[in-house]
Amino acid sequence: MLLGRLSQLVIRRSIHISPKLNQAMGIDGNTILAESLKKQGVQYVFGIVGIPVIETALAFQMAGLKYIGMRNEQAACYAAQAMGYLTGKPGVCLAVSGPGLLHCIGGMANAQVNCWPLIVIAGSCPQDHEGIGGFQEWPQVESSRLYCKYAARPPSPRLIPLHVERAVRLAASGRPGVSYLDMPGTLLLAEADEDKVPLDFYNAEPVALGHPNPVLVSQAAALLAAAQRPLVIVGKGAAHARAEDAVRKLVDTTKLPFLPTPMGKGVVADESEFCVSTARTQALLKADVILLLGARLNWMLHFGQTPRFAPDVKVIQVDISPEEFHNSIKSEIAVHSDIKPFAEALTQALAEKKFSLQPATDSWWQALQQKQKANTEFVKAQASNTTLPLNYFAVFKTVQANIPKDSIIVSEGANTMDIGRGMLMNNLPRHRLDAGTFGTMGVGPGFAVAAAMWCRDYAPEKRVICVEGDSAFGFSGMEIETMFRYKLPVIIIIVNNSGIYSGFPPDVMADLQSGGDIAQCTPPTALSGEVRYEKMMEMFGETGHLCRTVEEIETAVKKSIAVTDKPSIINILIDPSSNRKPQAFNWLTESKL
Angle made by CA atoms 252, 257, 258, in degrees to the nearest 5: 90
Q: Output the pLDDT for position 199.
A: 84
Are 333 and 219 within 8 A, CB to CB?
yes
Q: What is the pLDDT of residues 461-511, one digit of tens each?
A: 999 999 999 999 999 999 999 999 999 999 999 999 999 999 999 999 999
Q: Does some domain include residue 206?
A: no
Q: Are residues 309 and 398 in the same domain?
A: no
Q: What is the pLDDT of residues 69-95, one digit of tens each?
A: 999 999 999 999 999 999 999 999 999
Confidence of residue 579 (pLDDT cuts 50, 70, 90): confident
Q: Are residues 445 and 477 in the same domain?
A: yes
Q: What is the pLDDT of residues 134-180, one digit of tens each?
A: 999 999 999 999 999 999 999 999 999 999 999 999 999 999 999 99
Average pLDDT on 108-113 reads 98
* pLDDT exceeds cutoff 70 at 6: no
3-state DSSP assignment of residue 315? strand
Q: Are residues 445 and 468 in the same domain?
A: yes
Q: Are residues 322 and 392 in the same domain?
A: no
Are 223 and 287 within 8 A, CB to CB?
no
Q: What domain range is 337 assigned to?
A: 214-370
Q: Output the pLDDT for position 13.
A: 46
3-state DSSP assignment of residue 28? strand
For residue 23, how many other CB atoms are within 10 A of its CB?
9
Q: How far is CA 398 from CA 384, 408, 424, 448, 554, in A?
A: 10, 17, 10, 21, 7
- Rounded to the nearest 10 degrees, the angle between the axes of helix 392-402 and helix 363-383 is 100
Q: Are residues 407 and 302 in the same domain?
A: no
State which of 343, 370, 397 marks the end of a domain: 370
E strands of 72-177, at which residues? 91-95, 118-124, 150-152
3-state DSSP assignment of residue 493? strand
Q: Does some domain include residue 205?
A: no
Q: Are residues 124 and 258 in the same domain?
A: no
Q: Does some domain include residue 453?
A: yes
- Whichever domain contains 408, its CATH number is 3.40.50.970
Average pLDDT on 114-136 reads 95
Q: Does some domain include residue 204?
A: no
- Categorise residue 335: left if φ over 0, alpha if ψ from -120 to 50, beta otherwise: beta
* pLDDT exceeds cutoff 80 at 581: no
d(CA 454, CA 457) in angstroms, rounded, equals 5
State which of 370, 394, 424 marks the end of a domain: 370
Average pLDDT on 369-375 reads 97
Confidence of residue 11 (pLDDT cuts 50, 70, 90): very low
Q: Does some domain include residue 68?
A: yes
Q: Output the pLDDT for position 10.
A: 47
Are 285 and 381 within 8 A, CB to CB?
no
Q: Does some domain include residue 434?
A: yes
Q: Are residues 84 and 128 in the same domain?
A: yes
In this structure, what DSSP letter does residue 539 have?
A: G
Q: What is the pLDDT of residues 388-435, one digit of tens each?
A: 999 999 999 999 999 999 999 999 999 999 999 999 999 999 999 999
Q: Output the pLDDT for position 161.
A: 97
Q: How far is CA 573 from CA 121, 368, 511, in A?
A: 40, 35, 20
3-state DSSP assignment of residue 434? strand
Q: Are residues 103 and 166 in the same domain?
A: yes
* pLDDT exceeds cutoff 90 at 443: yes
Q: Are residues 170 and 220 in the same domain?
A: no
d(CA 77, CA 46) in angstroms, rounded, equals 7
Confidence of residue 516 (pLDDT cuts 50, 70, 90): confident
Q: Output the pLDDT for position 206.
A: 77
CA 147 to chain centroid:
16
Q: Are residues 411 and 354 in the same domain?
A: no
* pLDDT exceeds cutoff 60 at 133: yes
Are 157 and 191 within 8 A, CB to CB?
yes
In this structure, are strands 568-573 and 545-547 parallel, antiparallel, or unpaired? parallel
In this structure, what DSSP letter does residue 224 have?
A: H
Q: Are residues 88 and 174 in the same domain?
A: yes
First vs last Cα of the chain: how many Å apart?
62
Overall number of domains in the chain: 3
For residue 543, how many other CB atoms are within 10 A of its CB?
13
Q: Does some domain include residue 502?
A: yes
Confidence of residue 583 (pLDDT cuts 50, 70, 90): low
d(CA 276, CA 273) in angstroms, rounded, equals 8
Q: Output the pLDDT for position 580.
A: 76
Q: Output the pLDDT for position 593.
A: 61
CA 66 to chain centroid:
20
Which of the pair, 466 or 14, is modelled with greater confidence?
Answer: 466
3-state DSSP assignment of residue 198? coil
Q: Does some domain include residue 81?
A: yes
Q: Output the pLDDT for position 387.
A: 97
Q: Are residues 353 and 422 in the same domain?
A: no
- Whichever domain contains 352, its CATH number is 3.40.50.1220
Confidence of residue 5 (pLDDT cuts 50, 70, 90): low
Average pLDDT on 536-552 reads 98
Average pLDDT on 562-591 reads 86
Which of the pair, 24 or 463, is modelled with greater confidence?
Answer: 463
DSSP labels for 341-355?
HHHHHHHHHHHHTT-
Q: How far is CA 106 from CA 438, 445, 543, in A?
A: 10, 15, 33
* pLDDT exceeds cutoff 50 at 386: yes
What residues pair up with 28 in beta bridges, in sequence order? 191
Average pLDDT on 545-565 reads 98
Q: What is the pLDDT of residues 304-335, one digit of tens each?
A: 999 999 999 999 999 999 999 999 999 999 99
Q: Output the pLDDT for position 551.
A: 98
E strands of 254-365, at which residues? 258-260, 289-293, 314-319, 333-336
- State the chain's mean pLDDT as an integer: 94
Which of the pair, 347 or 9, is modelled with greater confidence?
Answer: 347
Instruction: Mention every residue, 6+ apart, whose C-beta is less than 8 A from residue 551.
Output: none
